[in-house]
Amino acid sequence: MLQRGDLVPHFTVKTLHGDEFSYLTIWQRRKLVLIALPVTDSESARGYASELAARDADFNASEADCVITQNRIQAIPGPAVLVADQWGEVVYIAATSDVRDLPQVEEVLEWVHYVQTRCPECEGESK
């Protein structure tokens, strides 16, 4: 399973809306919020996806793409929420056994905001 600091592998999935999404289209340009839902449909998964979709403008304002899929992705168990910066570094990941235990949408947006405003020099990455 991916952990904080790991790099997101390049992947292609089908979104809940049936569109194909390739991570390469945003890599090094936009942040990634990946929501991996269980393959089996449930009321809680539909509700969570609807809450995320309702906040699409907030993700876009932070230059992040929120991708919701039921496809399996290597090293990312489902259900899970992953937030990565534009270079693919995992900043936050939460994997659970039940969709109801995933972080609230507001918390996911807080992680996106953190990525937007973090300071590499403050994290000791300056050379």
Beta strands in the chain (DSSP E): 12-14, 20-22, 31-36, 64-69, 80-84, 90-95
Average pLDDT for consecutive 10-residue bins of the chain (127 residues)?
Answer: 95 95 97 94 92 96 96 88 97 95 97 88 58
pLDDT of residue 123: 65
Cα atoms in the Cβ-side hemisphere of radius 13 Å centred on 41: 2
pLDDT in tens, 92-119: 999 999 999 999 999 999 999 999 998 7
What CATH number does domain 12-118 carry, 3.40.50.1820, 3.30.1490.100, 3.40.30.10, 3.20.20.70?
3.40.30.10
Helix (H, G, I), strand (E, B) or coil at 23: helix
Cα-only R_g, the chain:
14
Report the 10 Å Cβ neighbour count for 65.
17
Domain boundaries, the chain: 12-118
Cβ proximity of 90 and 8 under 8 Å: yes
Cβ proximity of 37 and 76 under 8 Å: no
Distant-in-sequence, close-in-space partners of 104: CB < 8 Å, separation ≥ 6: none
pLDDT of residue 39: 87
pLDDT of residue 83: 98
pLDDT of residue 78: 79
pLDDT of residue 127: 47
